[in-house]
């Protein structure tokens, strides 16, 4: 989502004459768009500002995003080099705020939750993104309040953008060259506009856009995997059969402590429904290891679930507390034990990934061509399951769906040779 927001921030600043520079030293304004999900996010911001201090003449320094929202006043106090902090729901005001700063030279702290105003404002400015695979935010915020997560505090309550606004932006992206759209939301499948339009309505309407070849969405909550959405995996050919569906733990005790609002059985019932409706579907997930209170038995439950589902492309981390969340006050687990568990889990997840990649060997697969590698007769694209593919080709067209024969692979990538544009899905 930060990539989407950063592009929109650029669209907004270019209106007041601030254009992108690739020469860092020339920058008059430096915007650091931050994310609070990863560990030590705040310290990374100060480190980056330290680098700016060394490299640049004093530019106007703006910190935006979720760290700005969470730390606001303290940031300006701690680092006088920062001139402005802007929360993720206020960045539509960045143009006016910069002009204000230029006039008054007074520090600015803008961290209101004005999400409706933000999207109304963004609607007036066309999205200049022109990537083959483009992001499109449809929903923001979250009402789930998982005990480990900062999102409900930094992005605010769930908000769904107006249906038509999204379709118009999608059409604009496709006319800019996008051939894949990734619908974004912190809780994307909670999308519900006016109690009439849901994520399934969006997917079905977007499926009719000419030249849009692929649709994906992320990140989903298991509780919001409703029947109408699952049905899209049967009916909509452009919806890719790959779903990122975080579970975090395979233990019901831990899921309850996390306040996840679903249990293991419910999660498995969603997986079964998906597999039943589309036998090609693959699922990836997120896991937190060593959550406060996790025992060896709880961890075994997670490992069993992983074996059962056979996840691909998953993310796993050791629990780390986020200030202000309920889990941050809990007693931490033994770190050495957590590291051993994480290693075990990651080995198993990597094995699944390896097996999944191996299956492609000597097979043809459908690849959406995203770009040509610099100074090489090689192209980059992705399979229907997001796996990166690097392939040789004399001549092929960016944005096309190619038929690529896979000749080798490693843990993360597939390598192959372009055959034709005639597609055989794999």
Rule CB under 6 A: which residues touch ligand SF4?
142, 144-146, 149, 151-152, 186-187, 221
245 by DSSP, 3-state: which?
A: coil
**CA-based end-to-end distance of the chain:** 28
Closest contact distance (angstroms) between CB of 149 and ligand SF4 is 3
Query: Do the beta carbons of residue 392 and residue 378 sit within 8 Å?
Result: yes
196 burial level (CB within 10 Å; 0-12, 13-18, 19+): exposed
Starting at the edge strand found earlier in the chain, the sheet holding 133-137 runs 133-137, 180-184, 214-218
Closest contact distance (angstroms) between CB of 316 and ligand SF4 is 14
In 126-264, DSSP assigns E strands to 133-137, 139-140, 159-160, 180-184, 192-193, 197-198, 214-218, 242-244
CB atoms within 10 A of CB 265: 8
Token pair listed for 223: 């509780």
With respect to ligand SF4, which residue has the nearer C-beta, 145 or 371?
A: 145
With respect to ligand SF4, which residue has the nearer C-beta, 37 or 97?
A: 37
Closest contact distance (angstroms) between CB of 343 and ligand SF4 is 24
Could you say which DSSP state residue 276 is in? H
Closest contact distance (angstroms) between CB of 169 and ligand SF4 is 22
With respect to ligand SF4, which residue has the nearer C-beta, 317 or 415?
A: 317
With respect to ligand SF4, which residue has the nearer C-beta, 89 or 387?
A: 89
With respect to ligand SF4, which residue has the nearer C-beta, 31 or 149?
A: 149
Closest contact distance (angstroms) between CB of 236 and ligand SF4 is 24
Residue 110: strand pairing partners: 86
**Residues sharing a CB contact under 8 Å with residue 88, sequence separation 6 or more, in sequence order:** 5, 64, 65, 66, 68, 69, 140, 154, 155
With respect to ligand SF4, which residue has the nearer C-beta, 287 or 409?
A: 287
With respect to ligand SF4, which residue has the nearer C-beta, 155 or 384?
A: 155
Torsion region of 209: left, alpha or beta (phi above 0 gives left; psi -120 to 50 gives alpha): beta
Closest contact distance (angstroms) between CB of 420 and ligand SF4 is 41
Closest contact distance (angstroms) between CB of 246 and ligand SF4 is 7
How many H-runs (helices) and E-runs (strands) does the chain carry?
13, 20
Could you say which DSSP state residue 190 is in? G
Instruction: Please state the length of the chain.
Output: 426
With respect to ligand SF4, which residue has the nearer C-beta, 152 or 156?
A: 152
Query: Do the beta carbons of residue 227 and residue 184 sit within 8 Å?
Result: no
With respect to ligand SF4, which residue has the nearer C-beta, 144 or 179?
A: 144
Closest contact distance (angstroms) between CB of 381 and ligand SF4 is 29
Closest contact distance (angstroms) between CB of 323 and ligand SF4 is 15
């Amino acid at each position: 989502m930060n990539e989407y927001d950063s592009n929109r921030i650029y669209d907004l600043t270019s209106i007041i004459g601030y254009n992108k520079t690739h020469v860092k030293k020339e920058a008059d304004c430096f915007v650091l768009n931050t994310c609070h999900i990863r560990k030590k996010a705040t310290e990374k911001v100060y480190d980056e500002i330290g680098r700016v201090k060394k490299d640049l003449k004093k530019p106007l320094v703006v910190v935006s995003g979720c760290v700005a929202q969470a730390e606001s006043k303290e940031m300006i106090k701690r680092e006088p080099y920062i001139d402005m902090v802007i929360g993720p729901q206020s960045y539509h005001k960045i143009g006016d705020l910069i002009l204000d700063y230029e006039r008054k030279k007074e520090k600015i702290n803008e961290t209101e939750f004005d999400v409706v105003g933000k999207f109304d404002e963004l609607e007036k400015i066309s999205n200049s993104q022109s990537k083959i695979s483009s992001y499109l935010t449809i929903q923001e915020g979250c009402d789930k309040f998982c005990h480990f997560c900062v999102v409900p505090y930094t992005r605010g309550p769930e908000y769904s953008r107006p249906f038509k606004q999204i379709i118009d932006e999608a059409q604009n992206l496709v006319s800019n060259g996008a051939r894949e759209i990734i619908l974004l939301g912190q809780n994307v499948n909670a999308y519900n506009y006016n109690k009439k339009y849901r994520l399934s309505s969006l997917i079905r309407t977007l499926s009719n856009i000419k030249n849009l070849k692929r649709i994906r969405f992320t990140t989903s909550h298991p509780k919001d995997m409703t029947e109408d959405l699952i049905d899209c995996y049967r009916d909509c050919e452009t919806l890719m059969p790959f779903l990122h569906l975080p579970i975090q733990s395979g233990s019901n005790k831990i899921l309850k402590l996390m306040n996840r609002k679903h249990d293991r059985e419910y999660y498995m019932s969603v997986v079964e429904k998906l597999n039943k409706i589309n036998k090609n579907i693959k699922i990836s997930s997120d896991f937190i290891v060593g959550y406060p209170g996790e025992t060896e038995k709880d961890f075994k439950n997670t490992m069993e679930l992983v074996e059962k589902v056979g996840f691909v492309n998953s993310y796993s981390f050791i629990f780390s507390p986020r200030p202000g969340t309920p889990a941050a006050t809990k007693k931490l687990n033994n770190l050495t034990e957590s590291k051993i568990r994480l290693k075990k889990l990651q080995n198993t997840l990597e094995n699944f990934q390896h097996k999944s990649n191996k299956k492609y060997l000597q097979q043809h697969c459908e690849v959406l061509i995203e770009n040509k590698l610099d100074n090489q007769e090689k192209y980059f694209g992705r399979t229907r399951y997001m796996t990166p593919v690097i392939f040789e080709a004399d001549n092929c067209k960016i944005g096309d769906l190619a038929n690529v024969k896979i000749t080798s692979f490693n843990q993360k990538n597939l390598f192959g040779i372009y055959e034709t544009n005639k597609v055989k899905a794999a």
